[in-house]
Amino acid sequence: MVTLVKDYWPCAYSGLPAVLQSISIVLFTVTLLMLVGNVGDIYVFMMFFTGIVLALMSIGNEVKITNGELLLTYGYPFKLIKVRVKEVVHIADINALERGKLFKYFKVVLVPFIMITAFPLLYVLIKGASVPLQYSMFLAIPIFVGAALIGYFLVSSRSYKAFLQNVLRVLVVLLITINFFLAIEYHRLYSGFITRDLNALIPLMLAEILLYIFFAAMLVNAVKRHVIIVEDSRGRYYAIASASEVKARELIELIVSKVMVSDS
Amino acid sequence: MILKLPDRMEEILLTASKEGVREVDIAKELGITKQAISKALREGRLRLTEIFVTLAEVLNADIVRVNVRKGFAILRSRQLGRKLYVIYVPKKGPRVIIEGDIDCSTNPIVCKEVISAATMWGLIERPKNTEQPNDVITKVLSKLEE
């Protein structure tokens, strides 16, 4: 039996883990909108807590090869979901392919990403000027996160790096512009400088820092990580993330030799 | 190791490579039981994987992609650093095309075999007579990279 734990993680792109992850992503966005809209604390807490639980349940924990089968385990800290992959007919390092796009294999995952991009935009359209100034930047988080994730699934690995660089450029320009207008708006409303009001400034800065951290993580992910897709004889697709290109190569060789070339 | 599958096995694998074809349909078409089809498919795919693995070892290459449902593999040569596209040609065996080294005027037979195999495996539509072999090969390799 071979156990691989350290450098591989099953991705929640298909099956039950994908459903749980999708619900959690949408819940986090709804929680954020409820926070901005000052909706009752108990509902916000319940939504956020449920989102956390579902997200933890869908986290890829372990990849094992045992008796000619690939065993993907999800859930953290407890291993709750086990997916057995038998009769592998197709394996590929999607990042090593010129035109490899995750969207071709995992279409449903796009649904929550589109939802989290659309929800804050709809919220702003409906609420308009009544969106609290200090929390307005938080609305940009799901929009940019959603856009970055949609791009991750729609374009190839090579194009994604260029796409991410362009998104980062747009983000920098957009945030500077938004900051400028927020400062003007604050001055118009309160006749003072926003830099002297920490209660307004901290939430705005925090949202921007969170956005930059997310994009930095995405950039590292795009450069280093390789995603391996696996298809079984029933036409179901699974994804495994590896720490590097070398690790991806090692896993492909292992799956080919221990799972595909196995008549058990 | 012989890098060639038995004809009957090839026939079953090719029939199963078509979109939406079920094992029951193949059994009806070939006049054998579903169990026999399942067994032949498993064995055929295993043998095809072995062929690709053997080629990777012989060519000193890493495996980037193996698709035994569609009869192809992509390897990366450790010495050349270039990709090697392998397509299993029914009744002949695997054929290798080196990335950036495709010229159908110097290798017309290999090109013809690869195009024919890509059509049989359902990777591309049957090319029109007006299409240049080099263009069709580019189309095939592009499909393998998707």
pLDDT in tens, A160-187: 888 888 888 888 898 889 888 888 988 8
CA A263, B16, A12 angle in degrees (round to 5)?
A: 70
Residue with tokens 């926070």: A35
What per-residue confidence (pLDDT) applies to B31? 86
Q: Report the predicted TM-score, pTM, of the whole model to 2 decimal places.
A: 0.89
Proportion of chain B above pLDDT 90, given as a percent: 79
Per-residue pLDDT averaged across A109-125, rounded? 92
What per-residue confidence (pLDDT) applies to B140? 95
Contact flag A256-B42 (C-beta cutoff 8 Å): no
Contact by Cβ (8 Å): A20, A58? yes
The helix (run of H) or strand (run of E) holding residue B77 is strand B72-77
Question: What is the rounded distance in angstroms from the CA atom of residue A151 to the CA atom of residue B29?
Answer: 43
Average pLDDT, chain B: 92
What per-residue confidence (pLDDT) applies to B139? 94
Question: What is the rounded distance in angstroms from the CA atom of residue A79 to the CA atom of residue A61?
Answer: 7
Order across the sheet with A2-4: list the strands. Answer: A2-4, A60-66, A69-74, A81-85
What ipTM does the predicted assembly reach? 0.93
The helix (run of H) or strand (run of E) holding residue B114 is helix B108-120
Q: What is the DSSP string of chain A?
A: -EEE-SSEEEES-SHHHHHHHHHHHHHHHHHHHHHHTT--HHHHHHHHHHHHHHHHHHSEEEEEEETTEEEEEE-SSS--EEEEE-SEEEEEEGGGSTT--GGGT--TTHHHHHHHHHHHHHHHHHHGGGS-GGGGGGGHHHHHHHHHHHHHHHS-HHHHHHHHHHHHHHHHHHHHHHHHHHHHHHHHHHSS-GGG-HHHHHHHHHHHHHHHHHHHHHHHHHHH-EEEEEEETTS-EEEEEESSHHHHHHHHHHHIIIIIT---
Contact by Cβ (8 Å): B25, B116? no
Q: For residue A151, how many C-alpha atoms fall within 13 Å in the half-sphere facing its CB?
A: 22
Residues of A in contact with B50 (CB under 8 A): 261
Per-residue pLDDT averaged across A39-55, rounded? 89
Question: What is the rounded distance in angstroms from the CA atom of residue B3 to the CA atom of residue B115?
Answer: 19
Per-residue pLDDT averaged across A56-63, rounded? 95
The β-bridge partners of A88 are A232
Touching A: B residues 69-88, CB under 8 Å? 69-70, 74, 76
Chain segment B122-133, per-residue pLDDT in tens: 999 999 888 899
Chain segment A182-240, per-residue pLDDT in tens: 889 888 888 888 888 888 888 888 988 998 898 888 888 888 899 999 999 999 999 99
Per-residue pLDDT averaged across A112-139, rounded? 85
CA distance to partner chain B, nearest, from residue A156 (Å): 9
From residue A180, alpha-carbon distances to A177, A188, B67, B118 in Å are: 5, 13, 53, 57
The nearest alpha carbon in chain A to B40 belongs to A263
Question: What is the rounded distance in angstroms from the CA atom of residue A233 to the CA atom of residue B44?
Answer: 13
| Identity at B116, one-letter amino acid code | S
Question: What is the rounded distance in angstroms from the CA atom of residue A221 to the CA atom of residue B111?
Answer: 39
Closest listed residue to residue A225, CA positions, set A75, A112, A93, A104: A93
Closest listed residue to residue A150, CA positions, set A118, A105, A104, A103: A103
Contact flag B145-A89 (C-beta cutoff 8 Å): no
Per-residue pLDDT averaged across A56-73, rounded? 93
Residues of A in contact with B43 (CB under 8 A): 263
A87 interfaces chain B, CB cutoff of 8 Å: yes
Tell me how far apart the 2 most distant CA atoms of chain A are, in Å: 77
Question: What is the rounded distance in angstroms from the CA atom of residue A87 to the CA atom of residue B22?
Answer: 16
The β-bridge partners of A85 are A70
Chain segment B26-79, per-residue pLDDT in tens: 888 888 899 999 999 999 999 999 999 999 999 999 999 999 999 999 999 999
CA distance to partner chain A, nearest, from residue B142 (Å): 8
Question: What is the rounded distance in angstroms from the CA atom of residue A82 to the CA atom of residue A69?
Answer: 12
What is the Cα B124 distance to its own chain's centre? Answer: 12
pLDDT band at B1 (very low <50, low <70, confident <90, very high): low
The nearest alpha carbon in chain A to B142 belongs to A99
pLDDT band at A113 (very low <50, low <70, confident <90, very high): very high
Contact flag A92-B67 (C-beta cutoff 8 Å): yes
Contact by Cβ (8 Å): A156, A101? yes
What per-residue confidence (pLDDT) applies to A19? 96
pLDDT band at A3 (very low <50, low <70, confident <90, very high): low
Contact flag A92-B64 (C-beta cutoff 8 Å): yes
What is the Cα A154 distance to its own chain's centre? Answer: 14
- Dihedral in degrees, nearest 10, Cα atoms A202, A33, A146, A15: 130
- pLDDT at A264 > cutoff 80: no
Residues of A in contact with B65 (CB under 8 A): 90-93, 96-97
The nearest alpha carbon in chain B to A245 belongs to B64
The nearest alpha carbon in chain B to A103 belongs to B146
